[in-house]
Amino acid sequence: MKDRTFLPILGGTAAVFVGAVAISYLVNQRVDWLWAMALSAFFGLTFFFFSFMRLHKKRLQWRLTFSYTVVTVAALLMVELLLLVALLVFVRSNFLIHAMGNALHELYAVEVQQYLQTEPPDLEGLNNWVQRTFDGRAEDRTPETSAADTGFTIARNLGEQNSAGNWRFSFGGEQPVYVLDAAGYLLAQNRPPPDFIAGERPFAFDSWPRLMESFTAVQQGERDLDNLRYTLPGGQLVNLFPLVGDDGRLLGVLMITLPLPALNSETVGPLLTMLLYSLIPLALMAGFIGTVFGFLTARQLTRRIGTVAQAADQWSRGDFTAVAHDASQDELGQLSRRLNQMAEQLQNLLHTRQELAALEERNRLARDLHDAVKQQIFATAMQIGAARTVLAENPAAAADRLVEAEALARQAQQELTTLIQELRPAALDDQGLVAALRDYAATWSRQNNIPVEFNVQGQRPLPLPAEQALFRVGQEALANVARHSGASQVNIHLVWEVAGVTLTIADNGRGFDTQAVTGGLGIQGMGILGMRERLAGLGGRLQLTSQPGKGTTVRAEL
């Protein structure tokens, strides 16, 4: 990784560190240096990871690894965000209020009933219990009920089960708690005034909105706790719990007030702090797991794709014996098997075309021997026979016949030499491609009385199979010109380039429809097919361009 890549990483990490210090101070009114360093280290690693992935984004394995990591971390962040929102909604939901009310009833209402069921009611014990349980200043509170001097806390223990569903409440003494009798007289309260006497005076209902209405409903037989619970404008939750004796008689009412959690800095701040503190280790863990899982998964996938690519490279070079091995039943495995079938079919097709090309080559040789050499030998035999007939009577005429026979024999010899050179051009072994092709073009030009312009550019040595293939293409192209084109000029260009070598044979003949010729199995079509297969076996290609009346161009590339 280049040095200039580290500068943005260091700058971004420093900016995150400064921002973390500022956020820590704003949330907690103090600087948490450990959290700031952890957060900056996390984002520094994140910047480094993104930079590394950017440099390797061309590789499929790293791109898949990157996507796995991003999706994993993003999913974790979404889960944490949803948990935070769900927690905030739960705090303000009726479900929490309902659960708290039922827990308060199970924990405290039953206890108060025991003091009121005695005859007479144990008011002194009731007041002691209320102050001990709900007064934050009481010195004999148990550790389970102790809290700060003011305020109220709620906890839920996930350990031992109890009738209240593991809820535990701690009262700081500031939240009013009252016990009233069935007539509305005050029997007990937390933090009572010095002159308080149990049951002496009625409760001040006017100080509490809606309280008289709810208390009257209790007197009239209302026992549904949800109907006896309401919230004051200031956020105070008022709970009325009917105290009923064993005989069904109303003994009194327990009134407990609770502050509902408010969505302010005091409640949201700790939640955000908890979220931010848990974000770093969880994100690092999720990122590490996502990276490892993505790397291993992508590695397996890219290996399978690499197997197919290697087989395809060998197929492109004409080696159809290569097989892409993949026994899996997924889409990639099915693709590998279909490509193997395609390669096998192509190999069979090439073998068939090679057999057809060889058959066509034999037919062409037989035709050339029949049309040229056989006729010349037959004419030679006729001349020799005529010379033998007139030898005794006219020796001069016999000598003329023998001269004609000798000329015919030389022509037959020349035709046989041409055919032998077509089967294996020995000139390539002695002269190389350029000289052999130039000599062949010159001989062809003299025999067919068609001028040939031969140009060479950037000559370099070639392997013998490549020279033989190009020489055969030149022979076949010139043979087609002589047989079919009716051309008066042929241009041959042999050019070496960086990517390979190109042989171009162009004539000004009558031309033809390439689809009509190459689409069938005619003689000329088989010749073109033979040229293409010869080049394809060496990784080359043949391009044929022609139109009726505009000549023909054959371009061979290796």
Within 10 angstroms of residue 35's Cβ, the number of other Cβ atoms is 19
Beta bridge partners of 153: 170
Q: Which residues of 292-315 are buried (b: 16+ CB within 10 A; e: fewer)?
A: eebbeebeeebebbebbeebeeeb
pTM, entire model: 0.39
Provide the 3-class DSSP secondary structure of residue 13: helix
Q: Check residue 242 and give its pLDDT.
A: 93
Please compute the mean of the pLDDT values over residues 466-481 and round it to a whole number. 85
56/52 Cα distance (integer angstroms):
6
Q: Check residue 133 and give its pLDDT.
A: 82
Confidence bin at 76 (pLDDT 50/70/90)? confident
Q: Check residue 158 and give its pLDDT.
A: 33
Q: Check residue 453 and give its pLDDT.
A: 93
Q: What is the pLDDT of residues 531-549, one digit of tens each?
A: 787 788 788 888 888 888 8
Q: Check residue 544 and give its pLDDT.
A: 87
220/215 Cα distance (integer angstroms):
9
Please report, for residues 27, 29, 76, 282, the alpha-carbon distance to residue 20 in angstroms, rounded to integers and kept in the order given.
10, 13, 21, 17
Q: Check residue 261 and give its pLDDT.
A: 61
Reading the block at residue 427, the tokens are: 């000139």
Q: Check residue 451 and give its pLDDT.
A: 92
More confident residue, 482 or 235: 482
What does DSSP say about strands 490-496 and 501-507: parallel, antiparallel, or unpaired?
A: antiparallel
Q: Check residue 378 and give its pLDDT.
A: 76
Which helix (H) or strand (E) is 454 found in, with range? strand 452-457
391/479 Cα distance (integer angstroms):
41
Q: Check residue 43 and give its pLDDT.
A: 60
519/513 Cα distance (integer angstroms):
10
More confident residue, 327 or 40: 327
Query: Is 80 exceeded by the pLDDT of residue 180?
Result: yes
In this structure, of 201-210, 337-346, 508-517, the range with the lowest mean pLDDT score is 508-517
More confident residue, 409 or 63: 409
The length of the chain, given as a count of residues:
558
Query: Is 70 exceeded by the pLDDT of residue 161?
Result: no
Which helix (H) or strand (E) is 449 found in, with range? none
Q: Check residue 11 and give its pLDDT.
A: 52
25/22 Cα distance (integer angstroms):
5
In order of their start, the domains of the chain are 120-260 (3.30.450), 330-423 (no CATH), 431-558 (3.30.565.10)
Residue 432 CB-density burial (10 A; 0-12 exposed, 13-18 middle, 19+ buried): middle
Confidence bin at 490 (pLDDT 50/70/90)? very high
Q: What is the pLDDT of residues 422-447, one digit of tens each?
A: 666 656 666 788 888 898 889 888 87
Please compute the mean of the pLDDT values over residues 170-185 and round it to a whole number. 79
User: Which amino acid would we find at residue 181?
Assistant: D
In this structure, of 101-115, 178-192, 245-259, 336-350, the range with the lowest mean pLDDT score is 336-350
Q: What percent of the chain has pLDDT over 70?
A: 67
Alpha helix (H) residue ranges in 369-453:
375-390, 395-423, 426-431, 433-448
Please compute the mean of the pLDDT values over residues 130-151 and round it to a whole number. 50
Positions of E strands within 76-224? 152-156, 167-171, 177-181, 186-189
Q: Check residue 46 and give its pLDDT.
A: 62
Q: In terms of Cα–Cα distance, which of 532, 450, 531 is closest to 483? A: 450
Within 10 angstroms of residue 60's Cβ, the number of other Cβ atoms is 13
Q: What is the pLDDT of residues 214-236, one digit of tens each?
A: 899 988 888 888 888 888 887 78
Please compute the mean of the pLDDT values over residues 66-94 and round it to a whole number. 71
Provide the 3-class DSSP secondary structure of residue 244: strand
448/418 Cα distance (integer angstroms):
14
Q: What percent of the chain has pLDDT over 90?
A: 6
Please compute the mean of the pLDDT values over residues 390-403 and round it to a whole number. 85
Provide the 3-class DSSP secondary structure of residue 236: strand
Q: Check residue 494 and give its pLDDT.
A: 92
Query: Is 60 exceeded by the pLDDT of residue 73?
Result: yes
Q: Check residue 54 and give its pLDDT.
A: 57
Please compute the mean of the pLDDT values over residues 473-500 and round it to a whole number. 87
- Per the prediction, the chain carries an average pLDDT of 74
